[in-house]
Amino acid sequence: MTRPVQTVASELLSELPVIPAPVGDLLLAGLDLAPRRRVPAWITDRGLIASIIAGFVDIPDDLLGDIR
């Protein structure tokens, strides 16, 4: 006697949440899956800018100010 095959899928997997683009970009950059593009406008040193974009230097959110 064989039983019919049943597929069970979780609602969590079938209805993925929609993540707004600004949040998704920051999340992916934080996981090193996307380039970092947020550099405070008050930083002018090209070496420091390159380090921030490469992910070697993190700037706290309260110091970001104007973003370029």
Mean pLDDT of 45-59: 86
So what's the pLDDT on residue 46?
Answer: 93
Q: Give tens-digit pLDDT for 10-50.
A: 666 667 677 777 777 777 877 778 776 678 888 889 999 88
Q: Is 56 left (phi over 0), alpha (psi -120 to 50) or beta?
A: alpha
In whole angstroms, what is the distance from residue 67 CA to residue 42 CA? 9
More reliable by pLDDT, 28 or 64:
28
As a residue count, the chain comes to 68
